[in-house]
Amino acid sequence: MDPVLVGKILNFDSDNEEWIELETLFEEVFTCSKPEDFYPVIFGLFEKFPNEDGAGVFWSALHGMEMVGNYETELLRSFRRFPNEMSRIMLIRMRNSGLTN
């Protein structure tokens, strides 16, 4: 896992409402060899901005995680720690897809 990329995501601040920078970071995450290593960082970002969708940018991360898979445990961990809009949406999408556990 690239520590520089992790730092950029963890330190992202939306003061200027410049969410497009985050889109670029997510593109890097989901083109690397192990994007699932970044799931805790992404869910931490969702927790940092609990009522946001990042001007639509968080949806890129959601779709990326759904494509790669294996995010369910970290999603539940994050939601239990700090419920937020994007995690709630992900749980609803899982339920709507037929998952029961």
pLDDT for residue 14 = 78
Contact 80, 46 (CB under 8 A): no
pLDDT for residue 16 = 65
Q: Which residue has the tokens 């593109």?
A: 27
pLDDT for residue 98 = 79
Q: Which residue has the tokens 């805790």?
A: 40
Average pLDDT along the chain, 101 residues, taken 10 residues at a time = 91 81 95 96 95 92 96 95 95 85 65
> What pTM was estimated for this model as a whole?
0.91
pLDDT for residue 25 = 95
Whole-number Å distance between alpha carbons of 91 and 100: 11
